[in-house]
Structure 1
Amino acid sequence: MATVEPYDTKGGRRYRVIYRTPERKQTSKRGFRTKRDAELFLASVEVSKARGEFIDAGAARVTIGQLGPDWLRRQSHLKPSSYRPVEAAWRNHVLPEWGGTPVSEIRKTAVQQWVSGLTTGEEEAMPPRKPKSATVVIRAYGILAAILDGAVDDRRVLSNPARGVVLPRKGKKAHVYLSHAQVHLLAEESKHETLVLTLAYCGLRWGEAVGLRVRHLDMLKRRIRVEENAVEVGGRVEVGTPKNHKRRTVPFPRFLAEPLARQCEGKGRDDLVFPGEDGGYLRSTRVQEDRGGWFSGAVKRAGIPRITPHDLRHSAASFAVSAGANVKAVQRMLGHSSAAMTLDIYADLFDADLDAVADALDHAVSAAGVAKRLPLA
């Protein structure tokens, strides 16, 4: 039963409200100068409880800095390569700006100002910096919004003030599609010729290719089983399942059978198909241009557009579509989560399919003998 009780202070009589939370926990609020003020507060508490809108004042005082570490621990399901940029965004952008702010004091206008500051490089809590990319801004904002979603679920705040702010748009990087001649020239200029051809014709991600073991190759059926992913994160190679945790089987063209067989000569079933010089995983950092990598050197010598090993997936998609593969087959080859994702990324490769649909409809109408009855205007 809620009550209003008076008590005396040096400044005069004050009133305390004793009430129970929806969880039946007894609590109180004191300092009211008049009994009417105390009764009005009590009435608002009862109404908020009846509407399911009650927020405990103590719970609302918790800061983003207190909630953030627990939220990060709950992201343990992320792969190391995905977790690392999330942790960096929390440490570099969210914590410095919002760490000491109680969740009840965060306002939508302040979140919008912070997002805009990240985009322009004028963060409020920091000296001017280089503007952040849309990817970094959206990631940092997503962390703050997710923490506040948890605060809403825990009844610390009634609604999430971060939702509904205007975010920067990600610009789509134009894909570079190599020709067959360019791919083979690049392979010839590279010291890992078979690896380059495998990337370009099978659409494997870098980590999937360097994680291949002899047992993953079926030379009779010309299939590659993609079961492991070796990604370099913070100087360490983290080995796990492929992206989205989905294993898949990828075909390889007949001309790759002999080079792949040579890669496996003298090796056991568990040995790597494309090992580094030390016999371990081939490091992605050693292909980069700023470190004098073998791949960037081969790109220069071949005189082709500047690309990374990952960009060879685009050429693999292009070759598959040109060979007549439908979007579902390309999806399976590349390991995308859905055909819609494949279409979204490579919509330009399927423009010819739209022409084929129009031509097929035209032939169907002609065959039905109704074309002459169609209006001319």
Structure 2
Amino acid sequence: MAKSWIDDAWLRDAVDRDGNRIPPTAAMRRAAGADPEKAKKTIPPEHRTARYGKGSRWVVYWNAPDGRRRKAFRSRADAEAFRAGMEDDLRSGRYIDPRGGERTVADAYREWIGTLVNIKESTAAGYESAYRTTIGPKWAGTPLGAIDRSMVTAWVRDLLDGNAPGPLKGPLAASTVTQRLFVLTMILDHAVRMRLIPANPASGIRVRATPSTRVRYLTADQIRRTADAAETLVSPHGRRIGSRRDRTMILLLAYTGMRAAGPRVRPARVPSSRSWACLLMFRTRLCVRPRRRAE
């Protein structure tokens, strides 16, 4: 069976009394192309279709992997060019469904998420959350074929700046944006594998790192005053909780570069003098490294 062929939607073969098929003559085809209304008087009714003179005349049919498809053209030259490219794609395995680009990102997401197997529930939940909060609000109704690289880049910039649509308000961290972009890239990769689009417009896009906050260093005098305050620290209830040990600890951390490990603790849960001293340092958000005096 032929993989593709061209059909004339205006003219057809006539059948005589003996059942023989009589194709339209070349003169009939030329006349129909030059002036369909005028040629209607000279072309016998048995050679004219119900669509004669209406819409695009030349229709390319082809047998796609998922069934027969068609596409109409006004000129035979355009139809021939399309058919030649289609035949080449079908033979080489590069065939892309011309209507695949009309499918939306939401369609591709539903198909892609259904193909994921042997992944943790937490991973699947993360993908679903990323789609629901950032990807879906922007791309759900967008046709796959309408997405280009500049659109994805602009979306990434909007996420970083806090201007992207969705329930998440404010700028997102670069790591969060990277994860969202990763999910969108996988969805579009699935569309490429399904031959809905020829290439992934999100492939290769990198998220710029968020500029780091300038580190502020304490002077020797600020370190001394912080240590003194820790020694005389008083709780909100008026009870003294600071001690000389806390003062020594702050000086040790400041002048040796040692850092406290482990998660932050809340004084209400761990009412110890050490937790209050640690909280004091963490709340300042300052690097307790003494600044050298200029010699």
Would you call these one fold, judging by a TM-score over 0.5?
A: yes
Rounded to whole Å, the distance in 1 between the matches of 2:273 and 2:133 is 36
The residue type equivalent to 2:189 in the other structure is: D
Residue 159 of structure 1 pairs with residue 159 of structure 2: no
* Aligned counterparts of 1:101 and 1:297: Cα–Cα separation in 2: 56
Q: CA deviation at 1:45?
A: 0.6
1:296–1:26: structure 2 CA closer, same or farther, 3 Å change rule? farther
Alpha-carbon shift at residue 295 of structure 1 (Å): 5.5
SS of residue in 2 equivalent to 1:157: coil
SS of the equivalent of 1:169 reads coil
> What is the SS of the residue equivalent to 2:151?
helix
Please identify the structure whose Cα radius of gyration is greater. 2
2: CA distance between counterparts of 1:99 and 1:296?
50
Equivalent residue number for residue 150 of structure 1? 190
How far apart, in 1, do the equivalents of 2:109 and 2:59 lie? 34
Residue of structure 1 equivalent to 2:8: 6
Q: Higher helix fraction: Structure 1 or Structure 2?
A: 1
1:81-127 per-residue CA deviation (whole Å, 9 max, x = no partner) reads 4444432221011001110112121101100010011111122x469
Matched, 1:56 2:97: yes
Distance 2:272 2:211 in 1: 28
| Residue type at the aligned position of 1:164 | G
Matched AA of 1:6: D
Q: Is the 8 A contact 1:137 1:168 kept in 2?
A: no
Query: Match of 1:303, as an amino acid?
Result: C
Match of 1:92 among 130, 133, 143: 133
Cα distance in structure 1, aligned partners of 2:271 and 2:194:
51
Post-superposition Cα deviations, 1:1-59, rounded to whole Å, max 9, x if no partner, equal 122111144535611111122x37322112x1111111111011112223432101233
Can you give the 5+ residue segments of structure 1 that lack an aligned partner in the other structure? 175-184, 187-199, 207-286, 308-377
Distance 2:162 2:282 in 1: 28
Residue 117, structure 1, aligned to residue 117, structure 2: no
**AA partner of residue 136 (structure 1):** T
Gaps of 5+ in 2: 11-50, 216-244, 247-259, 284-295
Deviation at 1:301, TM superposition (A): 2.9
* Aligned pairs for 1:7-46 within 5 A: 7-8=9-10, 9=51, 11=54, 14-21=57-64, 23=65, 25-30=67-72, 32-46=73-87
Deviations 1:273-329 (A, max 9, x none): xxxxxxxxxxxxxx875xx8625978633536549xxxxxxxxxxxxxxxxxxxxxx
Q: Secondary structure at the match of 2:128?
A: helix
Aligned residue-pair number: 196
The Cα of 1:67 is off from its aligned counterpart by 1.9
Which letter does structure 2 place at the counterpart of 1:4? I
Further displaced range: 62-71 or 141-150: 62-71
- TM-score of the aligned structures, taking structure 1 as reference length: 0.44
**SS of residue matched to 1:19:** strand
**If the length of structure 2 is used for normalisation, what is the TM-score?**
0.56
Q: Distance in 1 between matches of 2:56 and 2:272?
A: 83
SS of 1:294 mapped into structure 2: coil
Instruction: Write the distance in 2 (CA, Å) between the matches of 1:40 and 1:104.
Output: 21
Question: CA 1:296/1:61 → structure 2, altered by over 3 Å: closer, same or farther?
Answer: farther
Aligned 8 A contact 2:103 2:144 in 1:
yes
CA distance in 2, matches of 1:62, 1:96: 17
Partners of 2:158 and 2:196 in 1: CA distance: 27
Taking only aligned residues, the RMSD between alpha carbons, in angstroms, comes to 3.6
| Alignment CA distance shift 1:295-1:129 (3 Å) | same
- One-letter code aligned to 2:173: S
Partner in structure 1 of residue 275 of structure 2: 300
